[in-house]
Structure formats: structure tokens, C-alpha cells
């Protein structure tokens, strides 16, 4: 059965101020389709915003895929949920007439891991991503071709939830697959700090300069 817009509760806002960007906003555990809107508007003023709510519940907290424990993912569920979200994104692109080249995935924590999984399993879904507090979510059976893909990874030096080598492993694999990766290590825990916001804002602005 083909995916439809109704498959995910979501928020969509059209672009303004002649922006040529569309942010795919992917929240962390306990977030929803509203959680990343303010951040998206700050990082890319005027951009269109597409923000789905994760469909997995951990207690009362929405997530994009199940985990067995903190940092231990249910890989089978992750793969299935990645395919499901990628199919929904295709439906949203058609329904909202989103130019694929305008897409930038912007994920935090669980949402960043989902975005990373989409890069590895559906490399054509988008070619730009900002990943806050991400780690390598899975080892793909087949290495994707990511030449032309650009990724910003914002890691926390004191992140109590993600050991630094797990964030570095994601950057290493993406680079091996041909992606251009900027890896920034911030003096921060799992939460975002001003330096994260500033770095992401600068990176997105630089995309504007180099993509056109």
C-alpha cells in the first residue's frame, strides 16, 4: 500500500521570504511535530518546515523507533521505521510539491539517529543533514553511495548518553561512503548549547552560498 500524508501526524509550513529551503524536522525522544519548529525557524528563517511525529511510544514519549535500552537499538524496528518514514517523505514531497534539492534534514538525538539511518538506507531521500547528538544507528548491509551528500554532525564532548566514539563512527562511515562531513565537538552534554546553534546556522548559510 502506498504511503499517504495521513500515515504520520505532522506539521507543514510553506516557505516565505523567497526561501529555497525545506527543513525536515525530526525530534528527539518525548518530542512531537511542534518541538523543533522554533529551532528550524532560527536556523533557516523563511524555510518551509516539514515535521512528523514519531510513531513509537516509549511510555508516553514519542520516538521514531524502538530501543531495548539507552543506546541499544531494536535494529529490526529501526530498519522498518526508516523505510516507513522514507516512504512517507516521498508522499509529502509529492503532496506539498517540495523540490527534493531543497530538503535539509534537521534531527536531534533520536531524530538525528533516524536521519542518519535514512542516509544509510535511503541515500536518495535527501542530500543535506544537520545531526545534533547522533551516533551510528546501524551497520548497513550495503554501503550507500553518498557522493554529493553534505552532513553536519554536532557532538557533545561530555554527552552522558552517547559515547564520543559512537558519534565518531557515524562520521567515519559517512565519509567512507563519499559524504562530505563536518564534525564539530562542543563543550556540552546531550542538550544543545549556543555554539551548536551558531555552527548549524553558519553551515546552513554556507549551503546557500555554495549550492546556487
Active site residues: 109, 159, 190
- DSSP-derived secondary structure for 114-141: HHHHHHHH-TTS-SEEEEES-------S
Residue pair 63/29 in contact (Cβ under 8 Å)? The answer is yes
Cα angle 68, 39, 101 (rounded to 5 degrees) comes to 90
Listing DSSP states for 15-42 in one string gives --TT---EEEEE--TT--TTTTHHHHHH
Look at residues 29, 17, 12, 22 and name the one whose alpha carbon lies nearest to residue 128. 22
Question: What does the alpha-carbon distance between residue 149 and residue 177 come to, in Å, rounded to a whole number?
Answer: 10
The C-alpha atoms of residue 137 and residue 146 are separated, in whole angstroms, by 17
Pairwise CA distance, residues 155 & 112, whole Å: 11
C-alpha cell at 107: 534531527
Going 180 to 111 to 67 to 6, the CA torsion angle's sign is negative
Amino acid at each position: 500500500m502506498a504511503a499517504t500524508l495521513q500515515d504520520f501526524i505532522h506539521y507543514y509550513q510553506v516557505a516565505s521570504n523567497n526561501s529555497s529551503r525545506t527543513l525536515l524536522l525530526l525530534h528527539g525522544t518525548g518530542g512531537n511535530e511542534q518541538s523543533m519548529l522554533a529551532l528550524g525557524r532560527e536556523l533557516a528563517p523563511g524555510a518551509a518546515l516539514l515535521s512528523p511525529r514519531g510513531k513509537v511510544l516509549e511510555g508516553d514519549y514519542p520516538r521514531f523507533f524502538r530501543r531495548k535500552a539507552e543506546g541499544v537499538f531494536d535494529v529490526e524496528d529501526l530498519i522498518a521505521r526508516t523505510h516507513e518514514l522514507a516512504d512517507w517523505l516521498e508522499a509529502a514531497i509529492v503532496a506539498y510539491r517540495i523540490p527534493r534539492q531543497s530538503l535539509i534534514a534537521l534531527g536531534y538525538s533520536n531524530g538525528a539517529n533516524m536521519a542518519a539511518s535514512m542516509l544509510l538506507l535511503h541515500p536518495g531521500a535527501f542530500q543535506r543533514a544537520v545531526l545534533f547528538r547522533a551516533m551510528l544507528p546501524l551497520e548497513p548491509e550495503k554501503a550507500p553511495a553518498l557522493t554529493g551528500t553534505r552532513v553536519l554532525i554536532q557532538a557533545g564532548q561530555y554527552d552522558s548518553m552517547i559515547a564520543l566514539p559512537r558519534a565518531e563512527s557515524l562520521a567515519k562511515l559517512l565519509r567512507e561512503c563519499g559524504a562530505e562531513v563536518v564534525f564539530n565537538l562542543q563543550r556540552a552534554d546531550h542538550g544543545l548549547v549556543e555554539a551548536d546553534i551558531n555552527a548549524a546556522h553558519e553551515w546552513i548559510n554556507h549551503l546557500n552560498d555554495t549550492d546556487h
